[in-house]
Amino acid sequence: MPRVLRARSLHAISFTARRGAVPAGDIPMMLRTLSMAVLAILAVPVIAVAGDEAETLDGVVVTANRTPVAVRDVLAAVEIINREQIERSQARSLPDLLRGRAGISIGNQGGLGKLTTLFMRGSESDHVLVLVDGVRMGSATSGLVSFQDIPVELIERIEIVRGPRSSLYGSEAIGGVIQIFTRRDTGAMTPRFSIGAGSNDTYESSAGIGGRIGRGWFGADYSRQQTRGINACRGYFNSWMDAGGCFTNEPDRDGYKRDSVSLRGGMDITDVLEFDAHALRAQAENHYDGSYVNRSRIVQQVVGGNLAWTPSQTATLRLSAGRNRD
């Protein structure tokens, strides 16, 4: 009896369609067709992801081993952010660009341009080394890097190396290394300009020009950003302990203004000898609450140069010099 019931139930199976029912005998063919269609749909994003991964693996990174190495040959966790990705992200500051990256945490105290700290893989903020064109960037007074004052308009490429690199860079690279490369124009001489505005009386503009001239190349960029900011302290309280965590009563906005200039150039002296030099200056003025002197001025300067001799495809001798001042 159970076998008869199962046989009857098998012959009663059907799929309802717009023009009637489908016999049970055609079910296996329909399932195979449906499976092939689903696999074809799922394969599209897989192919796209594989293409992006292949493009990343074919890149060359300098920061990981301090020599040009293909990303696929680097053991450390490496991420490259190129100029196209920077423009596509529409980030208005370097902290905004790095925020949300794997293993990176950003802390900000009051809005645009305020003190910003970067933590990588749980390490301290002073255990992440920041380089600008190979030159260490840091503060001898605070021990932190004012990387919030580096405009994204002047950046060509960023290399992020996660994990300890102290054997190559010293104690500052316990958590990782972030190297910023300023823009290098090797094509035809081309000008560029941008302007923008936002809430809280925020304005920003940038202008630059760069390109190749004979055997050499040159680039110059200027960027300005300013805002009235927000009031980091509420300023409405009944006691000194109810001041929004600021312990002061200053119901004013905390503004920010920054001017940055970047110069870079180079020349192919011979077919095997190349020279390049770069300079970056960022000057910012910050307003904050909490003391009688509620204004600070920050100046970051990075200057460097390189002389490279490449006698063969497998050998390069490079002489570099740089200086950071704040």
How high is the pLDDT of residue 260? 93
How high is the pLDDT of residue 141? 59
Least confident of 41-50, 71-80, 186-195, 197-206: 41-50
Q: Give the mean model confidence (pLDDT) for residues 305-317.
A: 88
How many beta carbons lie within 10 A of that of residue 84, not counting itself? 8
Q: Give the mean model confidence (pLDDT) for residues 33-57.
A: 49
Query: Which is nearest to 151 in space by CA: 91, 201, 100, 106?
Result: 91
0.95 surpassed by pTM:
no
pLDDT digits (tens, 9 = 90+) for 133-154: 988 887 655 667 788 888 898 8
pLDDT digits (tens, 9 = 90+) for 75-102: 888 999 999 999 998 888 898 899 889 8
Paired tokens of 208: 């630059």
175 in helix, strand or coil?
Answer: coil
Residue 257 CA: distances (Å) to CA of 34, 151, 231, 254: 60, 12, 16, 10
Residue 81 CA: distances (Å) to CA of 3, 67, 156, 264: 66, 18, 9, 20
How high is the pLDDT of residue 45? 44
Q: Report the distance separating Cα 64 and Cα 68, nearest Å.
A: 9
When pLDDT is cut at 50, 70 and 90, the band that residue 180 belongs to is very high
- Under 8 Å CB-to-CB from 269, ≥6 apart: which residues? 215, 275
How high is the pLDDT of residue 273? 94
Question: Residue 11: pLDDT above 50?
Answer: no
Q: Give the mean model confidence (pLDDT) for residues 262-267.
A: 93
How high is the pLDDT of residue 81? 93
Q: How far apart are the first and last CA of the chain?
A: 92
What percentage of the chain exceeds 90 in pLDDT? 25
Report the chain's mean pLDDT, rounded to a whole number. 78
How high is the pLDDT of residue 125? 81
- Homologous superfamily assigned to 48-325: TonB-dependent receptor, plug domain (2.170.130.10)
For residues 19 and 70, the model is more confident at 70
When pLDDT is cut at 50, 70 and 90, the band that residue 231 belongs to is confident
Q: In what order do the strands lie in the sheet with 135-136?
A: 77-82, 155-162, 176-182, 128-132, 135-136
Paired tokens of 40: 């074809």
Question: Residue 9: pLDDT above 80?
Answer: no
When pLDDT is cut at 50, 70 and 90, the band that residue 22 belongs to is very low
Query: Which is nearest to 156 in space by CA: 76, 228, 210, 104?
Result: 210
Residue 203 CA: distances (Å) to CA of 199, 224, 226, 257: 9, 8, 6, 10
How high is the pLDDT of residue 142? 61
CB 78 within 8 A of CB 159: yes
Residue type, 38: V
